[in-house]
Amino acid sequence: MYDCLIVGAGPAGLTAALYAARANKKVLVLEAKAYGGQIVNAHKVENYPGIKEISGAQYALVLYEQVKALGVEVKMATVLRVTEDKKVITTEGEFTAQSIIIATGAKNRKLNIADEDEFLGRGVSYCATCDGNFYRQKVVAIVGGGNTALEDALYLTDIAEKVYLIHRRDEFRGERKYVNELKTKPNLEIILNSTITALHGHDVLEEITLKNDQGEEQTLAVSALFIAVGQEPSSEAFNNVVDIDPNGYIISPDGVHTKTPGIYVAGDIRQKTLRQLTTAVSDGSIAATTAILEMKAQK
Ligand code: NAP
């Protein structure tokens, strides 16, 4: 029986573990793949207050070591189901805890084209606000038609020399006001009805190939491709103990509680407006502190 079981060893989950362990709680963190979460893909983190610059991988390593040094147990296991009485059924057996913090995050949806993984961090990025600054005065492309792609395209027009916004349909899913604003940007070119079919480069990304609805191909020379084609939250294993919105995010009206007492949510997996490292660690600290206070009140 653990005091606090945390699902997900990204920044939100590890921060929750840090706070719970420092409050002398017996803590277990379950992680399906590797510690660190999405931040390990960030080439450089330059927007975390108090740290001028750090690689995402280094940040994750330091946080992980900080948590381990406090005696937190971290196990590799995929959570299959959670019951209302806080039993966590995993690929590696069952665990019970007084409180559970769900911090499984969301993964960026991939384009699923050849070499996408190979160019990750070397031209391919899923986060314009994290990595846009590395392409100052360069030619970049962004793919997607939702609000993320539109907002990111606007952000990139202030940084890059030229921005191609590539969308697979002739209409954007995102809000009209962003589209109207984008149309006023002289360094933006919108390419509709087109999909990206190939990535090229030696070591770093140099070109992308597009194909339009008529089957015509064109190749663009770009230093970066920002992929903003939506997110895939990892919430299915929890659907009997939390409310989930149509996009798969866990609903928490106050940003910490779920519909089940003793089960809390933190980080990118919850419905929220800003998914950043700063907001993930904030969520983790609030979830752990809330869980600790409520466990104490029950005694
Ligand atoms: P999204 O709204 O799901 O949009 C994803 C976009 O990617 C869609 O345009 C989709 O095309 C395209 N797409 C999906 N798979 C693709 C593929 N394999 N190849 C090419 N294109 C593909 O995702 P999002 O933009 O990340 O936004 C997620 C949610 O957060 C939305 O509810 C959004 O409104 C919200 N959000 C709000 C704000 C804001 O209000 N300021 C900012 C950011 C995000 P189709 O349109 O053809 O399906």
Residue spans in the chain of domains classed CATH 3.50.50.60: 2-108+231-298, 124-227
Residue 246, both tokens? 């149509």
pLDDT at residue 39, rounded to an integer: 86
131 is known as an active-site residue: yes
**Residue type at position 141:** A
Which residue owns the Cα nearest ligand 1 atom 19? 111
268 pLDDT tier (thresholds 50, 70, 90): very high
pLDDT at residue 278, rounded to an integer: 97
How remote is the CA of residue 219 from the centroid of ligand 1, in Å? 24
Q: Cβ distance 232 to 146 under 8 Å?
A: no
pLDDT: is 222 or 275 the higher one?
Answer: 222
Q: What is the pLDDT of residues 212-235, one digit of tens each?
A: 999 999 999 999 999 999 888 989
Q: What is the pLDDT of residues 51-71, one digit of tens each?
A: 999 988 899 999 999 999 999
Q: Are strands 188-191 and 263-265 parallel, antiparallel or unpaired?
A: unpaired
What phi and psi, each to the nearest 5 degrees, are found at residue 267? 90, -160
275 pLDDT tier (thresholds 50, 70, 90): confident
How remote is the CA of residue 11 from the centroid of ligand 1, in Å? 24
Mean pLDDT of 148-176: 95
Q: Which of 131, 152, 268, 283 is catalytic?
A: 131
How remote is the CA of residue 274 from the centroid of ligand 1, in Å? 15
**Residue linked to tokens 């990111």:** 152
The percent of residues in the chain predicted with pLDDT above 90, rounded, is: 88
pLDDT at residue 18, rounded to an integer: 98
CA angle 236, 241, 242 (to 5 degrees): 70
Q: What is the mean pLDDT of the chain?
A: 95
Q: What is the DSSP string of 34-99?
A: -TTGGGGG-S-B--BTTBS-B-HHHHHHHHHHHHHTTT-EEEE--EEEE-TT-EEEETTEEEEEEE
Which residue from 147, 196, 210 has its CB within 8 A of the most atoms of ligand 1, so it is best to mutate? 147
What phi and psi, each to the nearest 5 degrees, are found at residue 59? -60, -50
Helix orientation angle between 11-22 and 56-68, rounded to the nearest 10 degrees = 30
pLDDT reading at 47 higher than 90: no
Q: Cβ distance 29 to 74 under 8 Å?
A: yes
**Domain 124-227 belongs to what architecture?**
3-Layer(bba) Sandwich (3.50)
Which residue owns the Cα nearest ligand 1 atom 28? 230
Question: Cβ–Cβ contacts within 10 Å for residue 292, how many?
Answer: 19
pLDDT at residue 234, rounded to an integer: 86
Ligand 1 atom at shortest distance from the alpha carbon of 171: 46
pLDDT at residue 19, rounded to an integer: 98
Mean pLDDT of 11-29: 98
Is any ligand 1 atom within 6 A of the Cβ of residue 111?
Answer: yes
Is any ligand 1 atom within 6 A of the Cβ of residue 145?
Answer: yes
Q: Which of 3, 127, 152, 283 is catalytic?
A: 127
Q: What is the pLDDT of residues 72-111, one digit of tens each?
A: 999 999 999 999 999 999 999 999 999 999 999 988 899 9
At the top level of CATH, the class of 2-108+231-298 is: alpha beta
Is any ligand 1 atom within 6 A of the Cβ of residue 168?
Answer: yes
pLDDT reading at 280 higher than 90: yes
Lowest-pLDDT range of 19-23, 192-196, 251-255, 271-275? 271-275
**Residue type at position 162:** K
**Residue linked to tokens 């070397």:** 122
Lowest-pLDDT range of 92-96, 168-172, 272-276? 272-276
pLDDT at residue 41, rounded to an integer: 66
4 is known as an active-site residue: no
pLDDT reading at 264 higher than 70: yes
Is any ligand 1 atom within 6 A of the Cβ of residue 230?
Answer: yes
Is any ligand 1 atom within 6 A of the Cβ of residue 13?
Answer: no
Q: Which alpha helices (DSSP H) does the chain contain, by range?
A: 11-22, 56-68, 128-131, 147-157, 176-182, 277-298
pLDDT reading at 44 higher than 80: no
Mean pLDDT of 28-50: 87
**CA–CA distance, 253 with 107 (Å, rounded to integer):** 22
Lowest-pLDDT range of 126-130, 137-141, 264-268? 126-130
Mean pLDDT of 128-133: 88
pLDDT reading at 24 higher than 90: yes
How remote is the CA of residue 59 from the centroid of ligand 1, in Å? 28
How remote is the CA of residue 19 from the centroid of ligand 1, in Å? 34
pLDDT at residue 43, rounded to an integer: 65
